[in-house]
Copies of this chain bind each other. A is one copy, B any other.
Amino acid sequence: MVGMSFIAVDIGGTQLRAASYPSNSNRPIKELKIPTTHEGETVFDRVVALIESIWPDEAVEAIGAALPGPVDPYKGIILAAPNIQEWKNFPIADKLVDQFHVPVYVDNDANLACLAEWQFGAGIGHQHVLYLTISTGIGGGVISDSQILHGQRGLAAEVGHMMIDPDGPACGCGGIGHVESFANGPSITRYVREQIALGIPTTLSSSSELTAKRIAKAAEEGDELAQSAFARAGSYLGMAIANYLVLYDPSIIILGGGVTQAGDLLIEPLKQSLKERVLHPRYLEGLVITKAALGDEAGLLGALALVKMKTQTQ
């Protein structure tokens, strides 16, 4: 394996990242980041150019890519990408194989962030991991018995779209009462706006600049409405996690994404609600609930973990 290398690519709606790694280290040989779109170019051509620009001198064993949408990891197809209109059932793995003549492995970014946290981050040593990322949306991934839980077409573990209230608020996806519609960033700001409209006193104003981050700051400074907005989101997350426990029985829950920056404002109500809602206390015995360790690196490191796993076992 000496002299071999891997390439990892993280394809996001706004930026593309790629890095090459020696086979024995997670420290990149070369790394580059560019905007996803540029007038007159396809996103695929930009991905190809990006990979070429970080291509190392060492022989490349395989390429791994994290993709921003539902992915069929068996066929290497991205089914849709919210910010890349041209990708509908796009066979990206085959297209990259044609271009670079090395094996290409792909998965969606939430599954790979879960894989990265498990291999390199907060989940090391566990075999059953639930990863949740809570920001504009709520996504996640599940490692079950040391394997990514994929289901028949890679569409499992869409944990943010589990319905927890049939009469709940509308979700960004068009559904009703999904976890995401109760606890993502926009639902926290929406709740604060509604309460302000009802005349609840607060230091916050219902301007267009109201964000979950700003609400978190007000909460830390003692604003009771701001605190209640995170307590509400945390309480719904606790209910959701009570469900994930009976459905997946993980030994660790890893929480990432901007909303979790609110820390105990969110996590304490989450734990309280989880304790009230959990089917049986045995699900909580030894359960670790912790913050994600890798931040923005999770996609790239997940793509790296994927190629490492695949080339070891095949």
Contacts and interface: CB of A to CB of B under 8 A. Distances in A.
Interface of A: 70, 79, 126-128, 144-145, 147, 149-159, 161-167, 173, 175-176, 239, 242-243, 245-251, 277, 279-280, 282-283
A241 to B, nearest CB: 11
B157 A247 contact: yes
A277 B167 CA distance: 12
Copies of chain A in the complex: 2
B152 A250 contact: yes
B239 A155 contact: no
A246 B153 contact: no
Q: Which of A165, A176, A251 has the most CB of B within 10 A?
A: A165
Contacts of A145: 147, 150
A151 B173 contact: no
B279 A151 contact: no
A interface secondary structure, majority: loop
A128 B144 contact: no
Nearest to A242: B163
A152 B164 contact: no
A128 B151 CA distance: 6
A247 B144 contact: no
A166 B164 contact: yes
Nearest to A240: B163
